[in-house]
Amino acid sequence: MTLKEEFATRNFSIYGQWLGILTMILCFALGLANLITGLIPFSIVILVLSIVCLASSFVILFIEVPLLLRICPTSSTFDNFIRKIATNYMRAAAYGVMAVAQWLTLLGRATSLIAAAVFLTLTGFCYLLAGIKGQAFVGSKTLGGAGVAQMIV
């Protein structure tokens, strides 16, 4: 199935997965940028939430690309944690928690981390809509879903 065919299925979990990849890139870039710039006008809230944003980007990477759990050496505790986030509702909840953490940056001052909060919220809504519509989670074949991980082993 090509990427165009995946988007044509109108399954919100596919939209959420690809939006999650975009969000992961955004979280990494904005977390790193705010970590560096947060040191100049020192703000502990911005520094802590920048680190949380950076950590979120790596969690999103393992959530959205299941093939990495087989390739990368991670602990069994981390693997079990990531495997629990398998359904649309669990993914929506995970993205919701990460979004709330980034919305808290408004307590310090308005920074570009708000963009990460917006994208985390949108991704969570995609997964929530997939759950509400009763759509089963369908992983993109491009990102290592639908049997690609089993072909490696």
* Gap between the Cα atoms of 60 and 127, Å rounded: 13
Model confidence pLDDT, tens digit, residues 4-47: 655 556 778 888 888 999 999 999 999 999 888 866 777 788 88
As a whole number of angstroms, the distance between CA 23 and CA 102 comes to 12
What are the domain boundaries of the chain?
10-142
Residues 88-143: tens digit of each pLDDT = 899 999 999 999 999 988 887 888 899 999 999 999 999 999 999 887 777 666 65
Checking if the pLDDT of 151 tops 60, the result is no
pLDDT over threshold 80, residue 63: yes
**What does the alpha-carbon distance between residue 19 and residue 131 come to, in Å, rounded to a whole number?**
16
Residue with tokens 């997939």: 130
